[in-house]
Amino acid sequence: MDYIIAIPSYKRPETIKTKTLSLLNAHNIPKDKITIFVADKDEYNQYEKSLNKEYRMVVGVPTIGEQRNFIESYYDEGTRLVMLDDDLEGIYIKNENSLTPISDLENDFIVKGFKACEETGAKCFGLYAASNPYFMLHRTYTKLSYIIGCAFGVIVQHDDFLKRITNHGEDYEYSIRQYIKNKKLVRFDDITCKSKFFTEEGGLQTIRTKEYIYDSIKWIQDKFPDYCTMYIRKTTGNAELRLKDKIKNRNQAKLF
d(CA 113, CA 142): 12
* Domain assignment present for 40: yes
- CATH no. for residue 75? 3.90.550.10
Does a structural domain hold residue 127? yes
Percentage of residues in the chain with pLDDT exceeding 90? 88
pLDDT digits (tens, 9 = 90+) for 203-218: 455 556 899 999 999 9
Find residue 6's DSSP bridge partners.
35, 83
pTM above 0.85, yes or no: yes
Compute the distance between CA of residue 38 and CA of residue 60 in angstroms, rounded to an integer: 6
Q: Specify if 204 maps to a domain.
A: no
Least confident of 2-16, 166-180, 208-222: 208-222
Strand ranges in the chain using DSSP code E only, listed in sequence order:
4-8, 34-38, 56-59, 80-84, 90-95, 98-101, 124-128, 140-141, 151-155, 186-194, 228-232, 239-243
Number of domains in the chain: 1
Report which of 87, 55, 29 is spatially closest to residue 204, judged by C-alpha positions.
87
**Residue 213: inside a domain:** no
Separation CA 88–CA 19 (nearest Å)? 6
Q: Is residue 123 part of a domain?
A: yes
Is residue 192 situated within a structural domain? yes
Provide the domain limits for residue 151. 4-196
Domain assignment of residue 101, yes or no: yes
Any domain includes 27: yes
Q: CB–CB of 168/213 below 8 Å?
A: yes
Mean pLDDT, rounded, for 108-119:
98
What is the distance between the alpha carbons of residues 90 and 32, in angstroms, rounded to a whole number?
Answer: 21
163 class by beta-carbon count within 10 Å (0-12 exposed, 13-18 middle, 19+ buried): middle
Query: Band of the pLDDT at 255, cuts 50, 70, 90?
Result: very low
